[in-house]
Structures are given as structure tokens and as C-alpha cells.
Structure 1
């Protein structure tokens, strides 16, 4: 089979499509013929050699890609929830990569994909959906009457966080550039703040949930500190990056009896992806695909992703849907 591999860390051009051995599923795994995989910030972080947490885990040569959608080709002897031919979406085993024609992964990391979506649409969802759903629904426990502020609302995680908050009855305010305002209102945002011309802390207050989905960690601490004054007593700040907040930030939250939580930690993938599929098939949430590239053009897809100004997700198409 063919798969994208890197033999050195570096720019997008280090990615190569090569012939590798097709994996054999373990008893608790499924073999998935991958039709589509999405491009996530984690992909180019890994491609460059990783951050401090990832560096010790990365071993060349290696694959890339942390989510995808396709058809079950084989099931392991212990798997009962799937059968051959099922259309599924989910995440590969850690660091195995989804830019590949076939992947073997734990069955618990996949679910039946939304019936109403194509493979390209479903493949755009899992990595971001697990962060947005876990953070907004399971950690923040968003509910009717809550006022929610989503930073980086137009990106892959942010656009889903906005939709999950609305699906659960919240009043949602998003920060984004002006050209994404109409897009976010179409997704359900009640207000959109242009971060280029307004400081959110000057125009919003009484926030129950602050959800940080900005695509970069370089502004995280300043953004966190600026967010404290807008939070209600007992509110929650949800992080989507692996950089834990400072003691200063946590101390300021404690004065307001507010808390901080990290999205995407210790998640039940199968449960989340099943619940997300239900919301999508009910028409309450939609997949936002920015652009679809044939996987032969993965380098260009990575260049686009690294601009950090992508609305929704970029998808690599591996097989054409019948």
C-alpha cells in the first residue's frame, strides 16, 4: 500500500508517498481503508520535529496525520461494534499516521461516521471534534443560559466549539477577523468581535465559559490574563493547547472561584464521535471544509495550514468516493 512518510524533519516538502507494508489489525483493532484525512496543526508541528513534549517520542521514518474517515476492511477477533463495510471516522493509534491508504487502529478510537456526510467532510472532524466536544460539553458542561466566549472561533476547533455551544443552548460570542464575521454568524454565533479592531475585554462581560481555540500558543498567557476579568464567579477557562497555564493565571481564577481545564485529555473517543455524529445528522452541527487537496499535494496543504488563517479544515483526499 501507499502512505506518506517523512525521513527527516523539516518543511512540507519532506513528505513523500512511498510503498509500505499494509498493517494487520490486532484483536482489538479495525483495519480502515482511508478515504480522507485532515490537516491539523499537530501535523506540521510533528513534521518539523515536535515540541518539547513530543520530541522524545518521534522516531524517523514516520507517518503523519491524526484523523480520518473511511471504510472498515477487516475487524479484529475481539471487535464487536463494527463489521466490514462500515463507514467510520476517528483517530489512528498514537503517532501511527492517517495519511495512508490503510490504517489499523483501536476500535475504541472510531465510530460510525455521520450518515449525512461525505468521507471528505467526515474526515475533517475527529481531531477537532474531540477537543471541542470534550472541552465545551464534557469539561465546561455548557447549558442553556450560559454565556460563552470562543477565542479563535473561525478555525477547526473554534468553529465546532461555537456550534456545540449553540446546540446546547448557550449564547455564543466569538473572536475572529472581520472577514469571518458572517461565516461565524451562519454557524450560530450571536456576536463576533474583530480582534484586530476591538479588545474583547472592553466589550464583553458576564461570561460563564471562555474557550481558547486560537491556533498558536505564543499569545496564550496574555490572552488568559485578559480573559479573567470577563469571567463570572465560578466560571471556567478551557485550554486546547498542551501548555499549562501559569500560577499567576490560576491564582487570579481562584480569586473568582473560577477554574481552568484542558480539553482533549483522557477522552472516550468512541462516545464523543458517536455523539457528534448524532448532532450532525440532526442538523445542529456541520462540518466546515475549507479546501480539499489530493493527497499528492500534501505539501501545498501544509503550506496553507501553516498560515494559521484557515476557515474550518483542509482535507487530503486519498480515494475518490464512489
Structure 2
């Protein structure tokens, strides 16, 4: 019987437990995937804590995990065996709160073939961060000559957004702790420290102004952004719903299969990098502790 990581109540990381399940069977249009690695995201921690319990009640046990990389081991009855997603194919994809697992049933339409040069751990961190970064930059219209400020540029979404924006011809200013400044420089960004005085530091780095902002933090980061950019449709946030409602900034991000294909292709050719910190599946508690510390460079991934 395969193992999944689940919680039987909301709470701290310690509520996560291994749970044995029956091996699921793929239905029409589905594949059974043996998971090799699964990404851990801040939203997983919020779900585990019960941050959304008031508006999205869920029964228990409850599972987590929205992205994965693995190998197809079985197909549903109507999936062509000679297609790109065949038995034995290595794939990358998204799931909804179920990827912390040894096996997973998913729709084949949402899978992208993993090229051999992309390591399993890196591949598992690409769907959420990659799709979010790609679609956010598109929604904000980032292009050549733009000065783009990214709040929390050293995290998973920030890492990929920085590289994509530089490739588009934008100049990127990224906020991060000082220990990540050399890392941001290696990605092509100009680093600066977050916290008090950020507005003045950004203005000193961009005396001609900032054109667009990608906020991955919320709160004071949005306040700073509003003082830098007049066009609120060029300020995007992935996390701050209140800023969207009160200030009219854009809620950005989302899933796009063409975006995922492009991201995976860039990773395969070395045009995109994503540092990964790994934990075995059964050490999901430690992985959640690290994500909640707020000091992750790149992504945290569970390996199976």
C-alpha cells in the first residue's frame, strides 16, 4: 500500500503524518504516476494551519501538495498507449492538494513530459513557481526597458520571475536578505534589502523610476509599491487579496500549460535554474518548518 502525507487536524507542522492508502486506479483520461518528487509551497503551510478553514471547510484526513514530477505507471482505458504520455514516460504536472504521495492519479491533459536533463527535484519545483512567474509577468506586460521590482526575489517564484524578466529585456531590482544578494546578482538582478527604508533604497537604485512591481510578500511591500508606480495595473500581487480589493492592484499568477512547457524547456537547455532544498517524503514536518521560516532560496521539495 502506498504512503501519502496527511493531516487529521489543523495545526503546526507536527500534525503531518504518513498514511497508507489503497493504490488508486486511473479513470478515463487519467494516468497513475509514481511520484519521484513533490514541491512544497507556502500555501501548503496555510492549508495545514487552517488559514482558509472559515471559507473552505474540509474533511479529514486532508492531503497537501500541488506540484510533482514522476513516472507514468498506468493509463486509463481511453488514453492512447502510443501518445506522449505513455506508460514509462517521465512527466511534470500540477495537482490539487494531493501530491505529497508515492503515487497519484491525474488527468493526462495537464502533464508535460520531463526532459532527461532536468533533475527530478528541480522538475518538481517548476509547475507552481514556473507557471505563476510566467503568467504574472505576462499579465503585467513586462518587456524590454522596463524597470521591474520583485519583492522576495530569492524564493521560488522570484527566482524564476527574475530570470524570465531579464531574458525579456527588463531590469530587475529584487528584495532579499543580505545573504541572498550575491545569489540575485548571479541571476541578473540588482539586489536590495527589504524592511525599513526600502522606498528610499529603491529610488536610489532607479532614479528614473520603477515601471512595474511583482509582489510576493504583501503588506508593507504593497504600500512601498504604491508609492513607486502610479499605474496600479502594473502592480501585481500573488498573495495580498486586501491590496487587490482596496487599492486596485492586480491579482496575478495562475496555471498555464503552455507556460509550463516553456519553463520546462528552458530548464532543459540551461536557460533557467532553480535551487532546491530536499527532504524525504516522511520528513514533511521539517520541510514545512523550513518553508515557514521565510528563508528559503529557491524551492523546498519532498523526494520519494
TM-score normalised by length of structure 2: 0.90
Q: Within 1, Cα distance between the matches of 2:300 and 2:285? A: 12
Show the counterpart of 1:49. 50
Q: Within 2, Cα distance between the matches of 1:278 and 1:167? A: 14
**SS of alignment partner, residue 55 of structure 1:** coil
**SS of alignment partner, residue 22 of structure 1:** coil
Shift of the 90–23 alpha-carbon distance from structure 1 to 2, 3 Å rule, reads: same
Show the counterpart of 2:91. 88
Q: Within 2, Cα distance between the matches of 1:30 and 1:20? A: 17
Shift of the 11–229 alpha-carbon distance from structure 1 to 2, 3 Å rule, reads: closer
**SS of alignment partner, residue 210 of structure 1:** strand
Show the counterpart of 1:227. 225
Show the counterpart of 1:134. 135
Deviation at 1:88, TM superposition (A): 1.0
Counterpart among 232, 248, 253 of residue 264 in structure 1: 253
Q: Deviations over 1:178-206 (max 9, x none)?
A: 111000111121x1111246423543352
Deviation at 1:226, TM superposition (A): 2.0
Q: Within 2, Cα distance between the matches of 1:54 and 1:162? A: 33
- Checking the alignment, whether the CA contact within 8 Å between 1:193 and 1:200 is kept in structure 2 is no
Show the counterpart of 2:17. 16
Show the counterpart of 2:120. 119
Q: Which residues of 2 match residues 298-317 of structure 1 at below 5 A?
A: 298-317=284-303
Q: Within 2, Cα distance between the matches of 1:237 and 1:147? A: 12
Deviation at 1:141, TM superposition (A): 2.8
Q: Which residues of 2 match residues 17-32 of structure 1 at below 5 A?
A: 17-32=18-33
**SS of alignment partner, residue 173 of structure 1:** strand
- Checking the alignment, whether the CA contact within 8 Å between 2:85 and 2:111 is kept in structure 1 is no
Q: Deviations over 1:153-211 (max 9, x none)?
A: 1111111111111122211110111111000111121x111124642354335222200
TM-score normalised by length of structure 1: 0.85
Q: Deviations over 1:66-106 (max 9, x none)?
A: 111111112231464411111111111x23x1111111112
Counterpart among 265, 284, 287 of residue 278 in structure 1: 265
- Checking the alignment, whether the CA contact within 8 Å between 2:39 and 2:300 is kept in structure 1 is yes
Q: Deviations over 1:250-305 (max 9, x none)?
A: 2xxxxxxxxx322234x32x21210101222232211221x211112111111111
Unaligned runs of 5+ in 1: 251-259
Q: Within 2, Cα distance between the matches of 1:88 and 1:287? A: 18
Shift of the 242–227 alpha-carbon distance from structure 1 to 2, 3 Å rule, reads: closer
Deviation at 1:213, TM superposition (A): 1.5
Q: Within 2, Cα distance between the matches of 1:247 and 1:264? A: 16
1:287 equivalenced with 2:268 (yes/no)? no
Shift of the 53–139 alpha-carbon distance from structure 1 to 2, 3 Å rule, reads: farther
Q: Within 1, Cα distance between the matches of 2:185 and 2:210? A: 19
Show the counterpart of 2:235. 237
- Checking the alignment, whether the CA contact within 8 Å between 1:70 and 1:88 is kept in structure 2 is yes
**SS of alignment partner, residue 314 of structure 1:** strand
- Checking the alignment, whether the CA contact within 8 Å between 2:174 and 2:192 is kept in structure 1 is yes
Q: Within 2, Cα distance between the matches of 1:116 and 1:200? A: 41
Aligned residues: CA RMSD: 2.1
1:170 equivalenced with 2:209 (yes/no)? no
- Checking the alignment, whether the CA contact within 8 Å between 1:46 and 1:54 is kept in structure 2 is no
Shift of the 280–54 alpha-carbon distance from structure 1 to 2, 3 Å rule, reads: farther
Shift of the 169–78 alpha-carbon distance from structure 1 to 2, 3 Å rule, reads: same
Show the counterpart of 2:188. 188
- Checking the alignment, whether the CA contact within 8 Å between 2:244 and 2:250 is kept in structure 1 is no
- What count of residue pairs does the alignment treat as equivalent? 296
